[in-house]
Amino acid sequence: MNRTLGMNAEINYVEDGVVDAYTTSFPFQVRPHISHVLFTWNSTAKEPVKYSVRALAEDFDVLPIIHLPLEGIIPAQTEDFAVEFRCAGSRAGQFLITLRFNISWPSDQNTTQFILKQDKICAPRDGRKLILADYEPNSQIPDEPNISNGTDSALLLSPEQIVYIGIGSSIILIVIVIFLICLHFRSSKPKRKITNNVFLEESTDLRYSSTPITPETKHSLIVDSSAQPFLQQPSTSTPHKLGKYSLRRISILGARKPPPIIFDRASNHVDINNALIELNADRNLFQIIPFVELEGTFGEIRWAIWRQTRLGLCGDIDDEEDGAAEEIAVICKTLKSNADRRHFEKFLSESLVFHNVPSHPNLAQVIAAATFGNFINPESVSDFPLICYRHQGFGNLKKFLLKMRQENGVRSSGDSDSTHALRTHELVSMAVQILKAIQHLHKYGIIHKDVATRNCLVSEVQSKSMNDRFYVQLSDNALSRDLFPNDYHCLGDNDNRTVKWMAPEALRSNVHNSASDVWSFAVLMWELFTCAAQPFAEIEPDEMRMVLEAGTRLGQPYNCPDDLYGIMYNCWHFEPLERPSPAQLLQALERFTDQLRKYI
């Protein structure tokens, strides 16, 4: 409390396993000059005590970051951890942050839950931009400012000091003007700068690479068709000319204000039991197709026909109508017999995450949970339910892209028929549809956290419009860890995460928001243009955070136009507030599509 209140004291929230109801009922005030609050904890129990913790902000102007794994074991020895409070908005004021702890004490079944409240005070700031030090991974907690008699000495200035400050400000302004004039005269010359041992030139013909470019390799780069898969092979065998790309901000996005950062709303919690009751369907009405779409260790995706009889819907019809029925094609996720209760609970929580979200044509939502029992009476349910989505098409988008890559490779070796090849405007249309689903989720305070082609469904539309050849839906990530194990990696916290798709701040603190979804969406676009190639395939998972912080990004796919890659690259800005919002991305992609139509 010395750093925040100017007095030597400590606050004990939990002592000897007992939560202090008095101290936890009042918010702890975090003054403007304080960015981190340190907590000390340890467990004296003989058995390991598990914990989980979440940080929630009532307003998007404050970004709380817990410098601690969100789940784990409470240390036996006394240790410190910090909670960082970033004033990410332009508004000044006092904002409430709650830290929600769940402790497996006295047992795993009888847990202890408590909430710690903090009131973060944010001073007025110029715009929403954060200072660079806020994003440095090795930055230290700010030192305590000098406090004297409770008054900030910076506010007590003599007339002489005011004059000196004015003169100093004038000199600084003159220096800045001279610097800008020099910069203007130098802007017409090719600029070359060295950053992190990577040579970059604004007028260079080199593409962005997923590995640093050295002086020895920059004049000998060639396109490797095995490393950069094509959607459509070039008609000649000569190397494709590399397009120029400016290091400056992509003009296609235009001038824009930093978008607000959206976090998951606590009110979006789904009651699993009620959701299953609402979605309950008779398993006997489902005809399983003897074909497995995808199979993992504990789960699988299958096709089925849902025969909805009028008797099942209404319950009172004439005998001559008994045979009337509507058949609905569905794709189903389910668990295999070797799955345990832990798999079952995670499967349900992930598959029903969109249950309370209003429907959207590009969002795949669960329409039925089929079982031989009835979820109203849980004891009657002895089988793993079929979690069903309405779908009649190709199925999983990543599997579809991999198949297209294989077929296109065979066709390019001799067959000139390119009817089934994916064209640029079709890939952009897919991206736009997925982006609309993301925008819809963010509208209702839902962060997807796993935007990727493996979590999408694709079908072909029988339409005369070439722009609408494919219909794509964004789905939840239930079973994705099991079905696509190579896309998930554990970084020592016993949690498999999509390291190659995650933004730097999500890798650092496991905090997801709308800006991290935008980062992942750009990786998804890269997947589309590479036919589901593995991003950063040459980089080890535990090196990803360091690589991203060093400025390395995914390279431009061979068949991706420069302007489109520029849109992707803007989504990979290190600072979340500098990334475009889904609405701004949608405008940019639609403008690109309008330009593309002129040449189709």
| 253 or 20: which leads in pLDDT | 20
In the structure, what pLDDT confidence band is assigned to residue 279 with cuts at 50, 70 and 90? very high
Q: What are the tokens at 309?
A: 């009889």
pLDDT digits (tens, 9 = 90+) for 308-344: 865 544 444 444 444 556 889 999 999 999 999 999 9
What values do phi and psi take at 194, rounded to 5? -110, 120
| 434 or 34: which leads in pLDDT | 434
Q: What is the pLDDT of residue 208?
A: 35
Q: What is the pLDDT of residue 177?
A: 84
State which CATH number among 3.50.50.60, 3.40.1130.10, 3.20.20.70, 3.30.200.20 fits the domain covering 268-390: 3.30.200.20
In the structure, what pLDDT confidence band is assigned to residue 231 with cuts at 50, 70 and 90? very low
pLDDT digits (tens, 9 = 90+) for 30-74: 888 888 888 898 988 888 989 999 888 877 678 888 888 888 999
Nearest to 336 by CA among 305, 297, 363, 375: 297
Q: What is the pLDDT of residue 203?
A: 31
pLDDT digits (tens, 9 = 90+) for 442-451: 999 999 999 9
C-beta of residue 505 within 8 angstroms of C-beta of residue 576 = yes
Burial label for 260, CB within 10 Å (0-12, 13-18, 19+), is: middle
Q: What is the pLDDT of residue 314?
A: 40
Burial label for 168, CB within 10 Å (0-12, 13-18, 19+), is: exposed
d(CA 190, CA 179): 18
Q: What is the pLDDT of residue 68?
A: 86
| 227 or 525: which leads in pLDDT | 525
**What is the per-residue DSSP string for 416-469?**
---TTPPPHHHHHHHHHHHHHHHHHHHHTT---S--SGGGEEEEE---S-GGGS
pLDDT at 466 exceeding the cut of 80: no
The CA distances from residue 199 to 88, 209, 241, 538, in Å, are 32, 12, 20, 21
Q: What is the pLDDT of residue 308?
A: 80
**Residue 106: cis peptide before it, omega within 30 degrees of 0:** yes
Q: What is the pLDDT of residue 430?
A: 96
Q: What is the pLDDT of residue 186?
A: 62
At 57, which amino acid appears?
A: A
| 406 or 398: which leads in pLDDT | 398
Burial label for 272, CB within 10 Å (0-12, 13-18, 19+), is: middle
Beta-carbon neighbour count of residue 141 at 10 Å?
14
Residue with tokens 């349900």: 348
Residue with tokens 């950069």: 228
pLDDT at 224 exceeding the cut of 60: no
Beta-carbon neighbour count of residue 149 at 10 Å?
6
* 204-218, 321-335, 383-397: range with lowest mean pLDDT: 204-218
Q: What are the tokens at 46?
A: 């003989």
Q: What is the pLDDT of residue 417?
A: 40
Q: What are the tokens at 78?
A: 């006394």
At 182, which amino acid appears?
A: C
d(CA 538, CA 51): 35
pLDDT digits (tens, 9 = 90+) for 467-492: 578 999 999 999 999 999 999 998 87
C-beta of residue 536 within 8 angstroms of C-beta of residue 210 = yes
Q: What are the tokens at 450?
A: 């796993």
For the chain, residues classed under CATH 2.60.40.2170 are 2-128
Adjacent-strand bridge partners of 469: none
Beta-sheet pairing, 489-490 with 496-497:
antiparallel
d(CA 223, CA 231): 15
Q: What mean pLDDT do residues 433-445 have?
A: 96
Percent of the chain with pLDDT over 70: 73
pLDDT digits (tens, 9 = 90+) for 133-171: 343 434 443 443 343 343 344 445 566 667 778 788 888
Q: What mean pLDDT do residues 336-363 have?
A: 95
pLDDT at 96 exceeding the cut of 50: yes
In the structure, what pLDDT confidence band is assigned to residue 253 with cuts at 50, 70 and 90? low
At 216, which amino acid appears?
A: E
Q: What is the pLDDT of residue 36?
A: 87
3-state secondary structure of 278: helix
d(CA 320, CA 440): 44
Per-residue DSSP letter, 352: T
Q: What is the pLDDT of residue 187?
A: 56
C-beta of residue 500 within 8 angstroms of C-beta of residue 541 = yes
Beta-carbon neighbour count of residue 214 at 10 Å?
10
d(CA 383, CA 286): 14
Q: What is the pLDDT of residue 450?
A: 97
Q: What are the tokens at 407?
A: 């077929």
For the chain, residues classed under CATH 3.30.200.20 are 268-390
Q: What are the tokens at 197?
A: 């041992």
Q: What are the tokens at 187?
A: 């802007």
Q: What are the tokens at 279?
A: 């979605």
pLDDT at 94 exceeding the cut of 90: no
C-beta of residue 593 within 8 angstroms of C-beta of residue 429 = yes
Q: What is the pLDDT of residue 56?
A: 84
Per-residue DSSP letter, 377: B
Q: What is the pLDDT of residue 554?
A: 96
Say how many Å lie between the first and final Cα of the chain, rounded: 66
Q: What are the tokens at 258?
A: 């930093």
Burial 187-202 (b: 16+ CB within 10 A, else e): eeeeeeeeeeebbbee
Q: What is the pLDDT of residue 199?
A: 29
Q: What is the pLDDT of residue 158?
A: 61
C-beta of residue 280 within 8 angstroms of C-beta of residue 599 = no
Dihedral over alpha carbons 368, 369, 372, 374 (to 10 degrees): -100
Q: What is the pLDDT of residue 165?
A: 81
Q: What is the pLDDT of residue 29?
A: 86
pLDDT digits (tens, 9 = 90+) for 568-581: 999 999 999 999 99
3-state secondary structure of 128: coil
Adjacent-strand bridge partners of 456: 474
pLDDT at 238 exceeding the cut of 50: no
C-beta of residue 435 within 8 angstroms of C-beta of residue 586 = yes
C-beta of residue 553 within 8 angstroms of C-beta of residue 545 = no
Quote the CATH superfamily of domain 2-128. Answer: Wnt, WIF domain (2.60.40.2170)
Beta-carbon neighbour count of residue 254 at 10 Å?
12
Burial 472-484 (b: 16+ CB within 10 A, else e): bbbbbbbbbbbbb
In the structure, what pLDDT confidence band is assigned to residue 18 with cuts at 50, 70 and 90? confident
> What mean pLDDT is reported for the chain?
78
Q: What are the tokens at 289?
A: 């197709």
In the structure, what pLDDT confidence band is assigned to residue 8 with cuts at 50, 70 and 90? low
d(CA 409, CA 225): 10
Beta-sheet pairing, 280-282 with 62-67:
unpaired
pLDDT digits (tens, 9 = 90+) for 25-41: 888 888 888 888 888 98
Nearest to 39 by CA among 136, 141, 192: 141
